[in-house]
Structure 1
Amino acid sequence: MADAPEPQHAAKKQKRLCRYREEWVGKYPWITKAISDEMKALCKVCRREFGVSYGGEADVRLHASSKIHCANTATVKTNTLVSSFFKKQDDSMYDKIAAAELTSVFHCVAHQQSYRSLDCAMKLMPKLYSDSAIAKHVSCGRTKAEALVTNVLAPLASDFSKSLESKDIFFSIATDASNKGNVKTFPISVRFWTPEQGIQTRVLDFFEQAAESADAVTDTLLNKLKEHKLSFHNVSAYSADNAAVNYGRRHSIYQNQKKINSKILPANCPAHIIHNAVKKKQAMYCK
């Protein structure tokens, strides 16, 4: 009797592999699709890929419960993002804050206050005006104030010389020596009139001159006007104190200027003129 054939076992069913699904992001926001393989997911917290081909979402849950993932999640929660240090502001608010800082610096300069005074004043503003969003964000100490004066206010203040040059306007100049220790400095102030702005008084330059002789000061004044592209023939008057070096009849700064521009007038020192007028008037009443 022939042997009976052995029963054939049914072929083992092959398991279907799983792919990454986009809907998992709603439940697990820390994952995304891996670039290398569609059967893997990328953990944004751990910065590593893991397979989901066999368990699908179960593999995601398995990774979420792992010690490495839990430790990395705790670290991310305690870290502060760099973006949090930069306050998001709209353009209009930023402009208002910048205007407030620049106005405060201009006020400090106009009233001859030190840059150091802004260190205290700017810290006081948020406390005085606690309901103001601008005051809360204003920040300007002596370092920033100096930068604003040097890079913003100073170029803007000296820009008027271009107008004098282009419109061929007549102007007067004034200067006087000021001693700071062993350093001798001279400011150059100009005064002019325009139909749009009326009488204007501006500081043109500020220079150091060791020699206080008539020839040295005259040469420096001429050079400074030349640097600003201003013609000395447009100078209508020269103002300074009544010292001999300025208005001596034989040799002085005024006499040197008159050799170049014969129409220049001696304005002398207005402060001394007013002082002498008041002094003389008081002497008349005291008699």
Structure 2
Amino acid sequence: MRSEKLYNVLEGFDFELLNDPEFKEDSVREEIVVPIVKALGYSAQQPFQIIRSRNLTHPFVSIGSQQKKINIIPDYLFEVNNTPAWILDAKSPLQSIVKSKHVEQAYSYAIHSEVRVDFFSLCNGKEFALYHIQKVDPIMYFSIKELSVYWGDLKKVLSPERILNKSNLELAKDLGLHLKRLGFDEFNSLIFPSVPITHIGQLDNNMFTTSSGTEIEGSRYAVSFDFDLTVLKQLIGKIPNEAIEKLLERDPKVRKSIAFADTVFYINIDCRVGEKFEENDKEIFLPLQINRIIS
């Protein structure tokens, strides 16, 4: 069985070494990561190539006028027939690989225009976490001691024959989630010019929402903008007055929705990344909160 083959690869490893303060990132790479990636089918040669510590020509991502520097060069970039496929970064056993800055940094590298891979992973010797760029939580997270149990599922995603298969995990791209994972939730003001408005929905008596699409560094994203009554009133003169009047009507039992038929209105938005994740039957998304409408 394949799980037995992988188990034999790590069978001679003494996991007590992970508690040794001298067992650091370089040891994790050599003793844990290298056997895994070779067993997956990658090597130093094409067509399924391991590329170590590739620098970026332009080590930052841009959102409007704001730039975020990428502070990571992952240990491994894997290519299939000269196409970037996924990345892996090794950490020491003392470092967290979930809900930490390391996840944010690996994500920023994975989505960079010079890389653009759907999957990124982190391993600290004790644990392995595999992420998809459109999911908040790991799609796989397990103890290395249980590697043989997860090996079949891991290979279905990361093997050279499967990794570029888009049917692996087809998800909509959400801009709010994208910005949060890049660390742009640290900014109180993000400017989006000429946002197309085709509809407005009511969330409750004091909150409203609209959604749109945008392109950033060659990738398309869906984006939701939430806003309160103060911002709604700032739309006077920018969208039809009858639409605003209808949305201002108070009826706690009715959630109103306005569509502008074949007309598109463009507005300039000053916003920030929201704090509350929303979820429907298909996806998790993070709305942006509008601070103000810019004249």
Which of the five TM-score ranges fits, normalised by the shorter chain? Answer: under 0.3
Larger Cα-atom Rg: 1
Q: Which has the higher contact order (CA 8 A, sep 6+)?
A: 2
Query: Comparing both structures, which one devotes a greater share of its residues to helix?
Result: 1
